Amino acid sequence: MSARVGAGEVWRAARSVVPAGHLDAAGCNVPTDRVLDAVVAHLRLERERGGYAAVPDLTASRSALAALVGAGPADVAFLESGTAAMAALLGGWRLPPGSRVGYARTEYGSTLMLLHRLAARRGWRLVELPVDGTARLDPEGVRARLAAGLDLVIVSHIGSHHGVVQPAAEIGALCRAAGVPFVLDVCQSLGHVEVRGTDASAYVGTSRKWLAGPRGVGFLIVPGLTPAMDAPAPTLSGHLWEEPPRTEEVPGRTRESVPVPGAARYESSEGAIAGRIGLGTAVLEFHEAGPSELHAHLADLGRTARGLLDGAGGWRVAEPLGEPSALVTLRPPPGDTAERAAARAADASLLVGVVPTARAPLHLREPVLRVSPPPGTPLETLHALARVLAR
């Protein structure tokens, strides 16, 4: 354990800005001074030079981000959130009517809304993938569904509402073997658990959670682009005219556009450029701190938190106690609620999350308390929360 605590200490030194009671890395984590400085420095540069003249070369940021999943810089598109990234990816995917899309009941609320809407409008059929009693996808069951015919599989690596780490590498290998594209939502997993080796066609992520970048930035990493994958709407930054536009319109003739190569088709040219720079800085810091040591440190923190909190005041941890994630969720005892416990925690200067059922409407039956300690969280903070729950 000492080596892992050591990694936490290294990280903590870099992150001495994290407020003591902050236990909401899964909601909105705390950017380091270096990240904030990079954001502010770019805003100043935009003011001094003019925004267009200040446009940065983000290739190093794209490379660092893509490396977290084993992809390359041309596979990265920056958007404004994970939700926007998922909407761009699925909204532009030309799946014919009758296509079968696999998803799990643990899926994120906005993604389910999107899937239901796209299914209704485009004639896609939604196929629920089997999970076990802990809501973990059952690879054998997924294999059987793939054999029965699927055209796309969408999985959240870790849900917003539940600390179970889905067997993404196994599902990815099964999809690859079946020739079925696999979309992995890494909003809660990148910067938290190992994502390399999952072999997804596309990854959907967000900056402000475990990567501790600024708010307002999300991203797609698309190593498995196919001709059926396009942006939902063509844009001048992401598409080219198939032929040079004519100065004189020819009646009856329409101009076609084609997507530019790579993930750039999904990216808006206008955006929070300073935020993209901040995310790039946060990802570089993550590489410097050592991804595998941090993953191990966070898994330890999560297990420790579950051990300390399970049973406190009758609260029960919802996922298996030994789950290797630092996203811990608790169900209330009779007579208490997640909202009231979060308010008591706030009175004790502890920041925890409340996850409403809408976040995972097919899985959550009541709101849960979410405890997600950032790297370097002192044990005393977890003890303080256990005392609040026991009250």
Contacts of 272 (CB under 8 A, 6+ apart): 80, 214, 216, 217
Contacts of 351 (CB under 8 A, 6+ apart): 19, 21, 22, 23, 24, 345
Q: How far is the CB of 343 from ligand PLP (least distance, A)?
A: 22
Binding mask 170-189 for ligand PLP (x = CB under 6 A): ---------------x-xx-
| Candidates 155-163, 164-172, 250-258, 273-281; binding stretch for ligand PLP (CB under 6 A) | 155-163
Q: In terms of Cα–Cα distance, which of 271, 261, 279, 285 is closest to 75?
A: 261
Q: How far is the CB of 257 from ligand PLP (least distance, A)?
A: 27
Which 20-59 positions form the footprint of ligand PLP (CB under 6 A)?
A: none
The answer to the question of residue 206 lying near ligand PLP (CB under 6 A) is: yes
- Residue of this chain nearest to ligand PLP (CB atom): 82
- Binding ligand PLP by CB under 6 A: which of 29, 156, 329, 372? 156
Q: How far is the CB of 56 from ligand PLP (least distance, A)?
A: 22
Q: Partners of 93 in the beta sheet?
A: 229
Q: Which two tokens stand for residue 250?
A: 């020819």
Q: How far is the CB of 347 from ligand PLP (least distance, A)?
A: 26
Q: In terms of Cα–Cα distance, which of 298, 294, 238 is closest to 262?
A: 238
Contacts of 127 (CB under 8 A, 6+ apart): 100, 101, 102, 103, 145, 150
Distance CA 293, CA 164 (A): 20
Q: Which two tokens stand for residue 258?
A: 């084609």
The answer to the question of residue 198 lying near ligand PLP (CB under 6 A) is: no
Distance CA 234, CA 259 (A): 7
Q: How far is the CB of 82 from ligand PLP (least distance, A)?
A: 3
Which 78-137 positions form the footprint of ligand PLP (CB under 6 A)?
A: 81-83, 108
User: How many residues interact with ligand PLP (rule CB under 6 A)?
Assistant: 12
The answer to the question of residue 315 lying near ligand PLP (CB under 6 A) is: no
Nearer to ligand PLP, 7 or 318 (CB): 318
Which residues here bind ligand PLP, judged by CB under 6 A?
81-83, 108, 156, 159-160, 185, 187-188, 206, 218
